[in-house]
A and B are shown apart, each in its own frame.
Chain A
Amino acid sequence: MIFILQKTLIFTIPLLIVALAGMFAERSGIINIALDGIMIFGAFIGAVVAFNLRKNVPFFVDHNQLLFIVCMLAAALAGALFSLLLSYSAIKFRANQTIGGTALNLLAPAIALFLIKVFTSKDQMEMGMAVDSAGGRHDFSFVIANNNLPDILKIFFDKTYISTFVCIILFIVLSIFMYKTKTGLRIRACGENPQAADSVGINVHKMRYLGTTISGALAGLGGYVYIATVANGTASGAVAGMGFLALAIMIFGNWNPTGIALGSLMFGFLKCLSVVYSQFAFTKNLGLPMYFYNIIPYLAVLIVLAFSAGKSRAPKAEGIPYDKGQR
């Protein structure tokens, strides 16, 4: 059981942080369908940084967890910069946000794969293991591995990646930021009624840039965390549709952090079932194929939505370019 919960946490974290990313953009009024693309871009830059620092800077080989943090920062920065392409077109040129997002979803794998193939002649790039000065080999292993803890604590403090703590803290801090600070309130106002926000002196364009940039940083970070913890440290120009799943979880979670947390936990748990089902006598004896367990999380979302229908409420002004003349 503990094993399942540990695995669940690993699947949940990237979804959690990327769904929050989606929330930041959409609450500010910009539809961010580019989450998947930004994840891919962040993952790619993170992997490039990891690969090069391991190769050229011995310090980081010895301080592996520090390198992990540096790479996460690089991925977040890359995601933030990449998302500017979306916010610039959507805010400055009032471009259709679905088109901009789709373009980013196409652009990210194209850039990543183009450069990976030019420099490595392969279709994917592995961050690889590093050999430290003492001769030990490292991948991004667990920051804490402690088998002597009581069960409950084991979930969080045994076989845990450092990214798990970073993301959970970020999630809590940013949720508080969104709901308990002046800036957070302003961002939300721009997603609901930008005209009213403007009339009381809030710079709608600035708030939308802020929301989308935070969104980009989180999605980039989430993309790197995904490849470092779930996808064997390989950047391949795809994140198995995780960005779209996160988008779905954001809608599922009704554009608020509590809903997103519950949604990604549920999804993470069901998703990890498809990985661990073969290790339990009960599920193994059922004799159902892997595909069945793969379908469960998606089917569960459909069923929950069917029963909770009508309560969903998107930010009112999302997707509509702000035009001062329409006040």
Chain B
Amino acid sequence: MEKKKFLEKESTRQIIASLLCILGGLVVGFLVLAILAVFNKNITFGEAVKGILIVLGGPFSSGKNAMFQLGNMIFNATPLIFTGLSVAIAFKTGLFNIGAPGQYLMGAMTSLLVALSIPSASVPPAIIWILALLAGTLAGALWGAIPGFFKAVLNVNEVIICIMTNWIAANVVSWVFNGSKFINYAETKINFIVKTETNNIVTPTLGLDSLFSGGSVKSYIDISIFIAILVAIALNIMMNKTVFGYELKACGFNKNASKYAGMNERRNIILAMAIAGGLAAAGAALWCLNGHQDFKWDTYQTLPADGFNGIVVALLAANNPIGVIFSALFLRFINVGGSNLAANTSFNEYVSQLIIAMIVYFSGFAQYITLLMRTRKKKE
């Protein structure tokens, strides 16, 4: 077979299309800042240029604090990688997992309950840490299996079940923690749960937190990012090299055809949703078990943003598990840029959300762009 030229490869085209989407998002973000500068006398055009550069710089636009912000950025990208993987695996199976926020909450709740209930005086903290992570993951897997069951056995649209289970989870979490001993009264943070470090449950950092620090203040970075990368690689292998992964993809392409080919499509749908739920929950558990995080228990009116952002991450990565790692990091990079923007100019952090929204919007065109590139090549 003739070796294809670099520009003719499908993967190159996809990456070019993705880069164009990102460029489009940034241009729109800049235009918004510029338009605001034109209409608002207090904001100069120069400030708009400075603003977009700050967003583009991400953590590096903070100068001295760059390493500290970079550490926190990587730490906060971890749950996002997990929710992104969760949505991506479901997408590959032909399911839209909009239930990641609920699975995330169930994972956070269960892992916190385990981590804070077992006294570290009698059981080694490392064992508790592992138990808490496993329990959280399992809880999320079970929670994710509910929409899977409804879809597979009762043929009910998974989107509606996911939305319902999200709000049920939000209320269950608030109900369980309401009035419990786990609320952080000691630091008078009554809307938050006690940090797991009080029970000596802390994710190992291998000195990374000292490396990524701002002088004396250490960042939150820990080994969870490596776990996330390993899981992404494992899922990539599972989807592309195993029979089970093939069956999931077959189910995503055509449910009826996979059934006709003798695959158990019901089992596959339930398992895919359980895996998706477990992933979202594992991300939440790792975030909580970091030890220094404030988990908001009084959450019955809001769902965690990281759950919904999993959809964004998966879409940007075109549901590729390895791509999810990069898109999650990119999302956080722009987020950090946004908060630096708020700190240094008269604009605010919502610009970063706006840019991300536009990138997602343009990513819908990605397929059209690759198609265009292909047809143009043919004409030549």
Contact = CB atoms under 8 A, between A and B. Distances in A.
Interface in A106-129: 106-107, 109-111, 113-114, 117-118
Interface residues of B, number: 49
Nearest to B40: A118
B16 interface: no
The majority secondary structure among interface residues of chain A is: helix
B159 A247 contact: yes
A53 interface: no
A291 B315 contact: no
Contacts of B53: none
Interface stretch (A54-62, A92-100, A147-155): A92-100
A96 B315 CA distance: 10
Contact of B178 (A96, A102, A105, A289): A289
B164 A301 contact: yes
Given A305-B156, A306-B150, A248 B361 contact: no
Candidate in A93, A95, A102, A238 with the most chain B CB atoms within 10 angstroms: A102
Contact of B364 (A93, A110, A117, A291): A93
A291 B175 contact: yes
Contact of A102 (B150, B172, B353, B360): B360
Contact of B36 (A33, A118, A247, A248): A118
Contacts of B300: 290-291, 294
B326 interface: no
A106 B356 contact: yes
B365 interface: yes
A69 interface: no
A118 B347 contact: yes
A107 B178 contact: no
Contacts of A106: 312, 353, 356-357, 360
Contacts of A89: 361, 364-365
A252 B150 CA distance: 13
A114 B164 contact: no
Contact of A252 (B96, B160, B302, B361): B160
A236 to B, nearest CB: 11
Contacts of A107: 354, 357-358, 361
A311 to B, nearest CB: 10
Interface string B332-360: 00000000000000111011011011101
A85 interface: yes
Interface in A229-270: 238, 240-241, 244-245, 247-248, 251-252
Contacts of A114: 32, 347-348, 350-351, 353-354
Given A102-B311, A298-B164, A298-B168, A305 B150 contact: yes
B157 interface: yes
Given A106-B312, A114-B348, A291 B178 contact: yes
B26 interface: no
A103 B316 CA distance: 11
Interface in A2-25: none
A295 interface: yes
Given A117-B348, A295-B171, A95 B367 contact: yes
Contacts, number: 139
B220 to A, nearest CB: 24
Interface in A53-96: 85, 89, 93-96
A134 interface: no
Contacts of A241: 163, 166-167, 303
Given A114-B348, A295-B172, A109 B361 contact: no
Contacts of A98: 96
A292 interface: yes
A312 interface: yes
Contact of B368 (A93, A105, A247): A93
Contacts of A310: 154-155
A111 B301 contact: no
Interface string B46-62: 00000000000000000
Candidate in B32, B175, B356 with the most chain A CB atoms within 10 angstroms: B175
Interface string A292-327: 101100110110011001101010000000000000
Contacts of A245: 163
A251 B160 contact: yes
Given A110-B357, A251-B159, A251-B160, A291 B350 contact: no
A301 B364 contact: no
A302 B161 contact: yes
B121 to A, nearest CB: 32
B348 A118 contact: yes
B163 A305 contact: no
Interface in B311-331: 311-312, 315
A104 B357 CA distance: 7
A306 B32 CA distance: 47
B157 A113 contact: no
B93 interface: no
Contacts of B312: 102, 106
Contact of B353 (A100, A109, A309): A109
A244 to B, nearest CB: 5
B254 to A, nearest CB: 14
A14 B32 CA distance: 31
B155 A309 contact: yes
B200 interface: no
Contacts of A252: 160
8 contacts: A96-B364, A103-B360, A106-B312, A244-B98, A292-B175, A306-B150, A309-B155, A310-B154
Interface of B: 32, 36, 40, 96, 98, 150, 154-157, 159-161, 163-168, 171-172, 174-175, 178, 300-303, 308, 311-312, 315, 346-348, 350-351, 353-354, 356-358, 360-361, 363-365, 367-368
Given A94-B367, A305-B150, 9 more contacts: A33-B159, A103-B360, A105-B308, A106-B312, A114-B353, A118-B348, A240-B301, A241-B166, A309-B156
Closest 8 interchain pairs by CB?
A: A95-B364, A103-B361, A106-B357, A309-B154, A110-B353, A107-B357, A291-B175, A114-B350
